[in-house]
Each structure stands twice: as structure tokens, then as C-alpha cells.
Amino acid sequence: MLLILTIIIFYMEWRDNLDLVLQGLFEELLVDVKKEKKAYTSAKDVSKAQLWCAVLVLSKRVSDLSLKVKSLESKVKVKDNEKLKKSMKEL
């Protein structure tokens, strides 16, 4: 029991030393990873599986952002093309 309490205290201390922005991001990540609890608790090595779930959650976030950026870029290109066509007609 003392070992578990020591681990919990250590765990909390390092998180408390994070920048406030990082603390918020970390909490958001924990919420998203917890959604996969059924998956990682069924693994032989739960802690490793939980870390991999965190990596996957972050990977999904990056992928979603990448798709949004591509969508925005294509919209900008369409608008730029329309402006270019309009300018060419005026010439």
C-alpha cells in the first residue's frame, strides 16, 4: 500500500510541474485515452497498451488536423482560381 501511495504522489508531482497549458492538454489526452479502457485493460501489459492508445489518439488528432488543412487549402485554391479567372476576363 505504501508503494502504491508513493507512486501516486510521484505521479502527481511531475504532472503538477508541467506548464499549465501542457497540464490542460495532458488532461484532455487522458480523457480521450480513457475511452479506450476496455481495449487496453484486456492487454497482457496494460501500461504499454495504454501508452499505445495515447499514441493512437495523438495520431488521430494529427490526421484529423491534416485533413482539415488540406480541405482549407483546397478552398483557398478554388477562391484564388476564381479570382484569377475573373481578373483574366477583365483583361
This prediction has a pTM of 0.68
Tens of pLDDT, residue by residue over 34-78, are 999 999 999 999 999 999 999 999 999 999 999 998 888 887 776
Q: What is the pLDDT of residue 4?
A: 57
Percent of the chain clearing pLDDT 70 (strictly above): 73
Q: Which of 47, 23, 27 is nearest to 37 (CA)?
A: 47
**C-beta separation of 6 from 31 below 8 A:** no
Instruction: Report CA 78 to chain centroid distance, whole Å.
Output: 29
Count CB neighbours of 55 within 10 A.
11
CA distance 84 to 13: 57
Low-confidence winner among 26-35, 51-60, 76-85 (lowest mean pLDDT): 76-85
Whether residue 14 has pLDDT greater than 80: no
